[in-house]
A = this chain, B = another copy of it.
Amino acid sequence: MDYKHRVDNLIKLMKKLDVDAAILGDRANVRYFTGMRFNAASFSILFISKDGDVVLLTAVLDYNRVKRDCWIKDVRKFPEDDPNYLKPLKELLYGKNIKRIGVEFSSVTMEKEILIKEVTNAELVNIQDDLLKFRMIKDKEEIEIIKTAAKIVEKAMIKAIDSIREGIKEYEVSAIAQDVIMREGAEGLSFEPFVMSGENAWLPQRFSSDKELRKGELVLFDLGCVYNGYCSDITRTFSLGSLSSEQKNIFRVAYEAQQRAITAIRPGILARDIDKVARDYIAHNGYGKYFPHLTGHGLGLSIHEMPILDSNSDIVLEAGMVITIEPGIYVEGVGAARVEDMVLVTDSGYELLTNAPRELI
């Protein structure tokens, strides 16, 4: 990855926004610019000035590794449990004419805000959306990694569905899939996966419980992994034994809505128009009020990122975006259905990144 190029783009943006420095702490952003993986319990701060200073602050325990592996040469450390870990920023800011600092409002806590204000009087400006826009279009290397993440999760989903039998518990199905993910060398899960069966599906209860799978239930399984920093995400709906005609209809409508939304994907179309394809089809079939969430979302270094595909999203799809399409229907007392796939927007239209069988079993 050309991290230096990414930093150069950020500096250009900072000049445009009249921002003198950026202090970044969101782990996806830090990884985007540094390439460094940190344990989820650890954190780092990336400092970039519009004059081209690039400094990475890490916890003492990460320092040696970062010095060895990171392209950034100016690495500084803070004690692991120091409540005042931003002290090293003081020397970086000292004597510079810094009036406006870009930070991520969605990741800076009030605790950290106080620490930042202890080292600078500069105005804090929210640049999170600008950073998300950088990350929205994936380059070739990123797309290859995402494809691997998608293949791993697809394999895990197939293995889990192959293993279902009457009486198996929701969390046991989830465990089978997670084991495939970890043995394939993924870094971890991209979110807390959930198998939801019967009432748990239509309620819904978004975690895997010790409820046993029974015949005649619709079962949803939403799963994702992180591979080389990048997320994948897939949902399948399946069942044991025979279903009522209404359960079958819910599945058919959710699946058809998904397929129609996917085939509408092409560069130049508005995200909200993709959402509309799915939402209108579901409404036309009488389930409009049973579809309570978005049609899809971008994913990359984060599991939810731009573009969001919802009824009010005015982002125009472009080649290089990676999104999910996942309309769902949840009917009290009957069942729920959702089929979710990852889709790459291409110059000519789209490419499906997940291809595990979508039919009810």
Contacts and interface: CB of A to CB of B under 8 A. Distances in A.
A224 to B, nearest CB: 10
Interface stretch (A85-93, A110-118, A260-268): A110-118
A163 to B, nearest CB: 12
Nearest to A204: B61
A64 interface: yes
A39 B109 CA distance: 21
Contact of A62 (B64, B206, B304): B206
Contacts of A107: 109
| Count class of interface residues, chain A | 35 or more
A42 B206 contact: yes
Interface stretch (A16-24, A143-151, A167-175): A167-175
Q: How many copies of this chain? A: 2
A360 to B, nearest CB: 22
Nearest to A292: B60
Contacts of A114: 105
A84 interface: no
Interface string A45-68: 000000000000000111011001
A178 B171 CA distance: 13
Interface of A: 37-42, 60-62, 64-65, 68, 80-81, 103, 105-111, 113-114, 124, 126, 169, 171-172, 174-175, 178-179, 182-183, 185, 187-189, 191-192, 194, 203-207, 210, 292-294, 303-304, 308, 310, 332
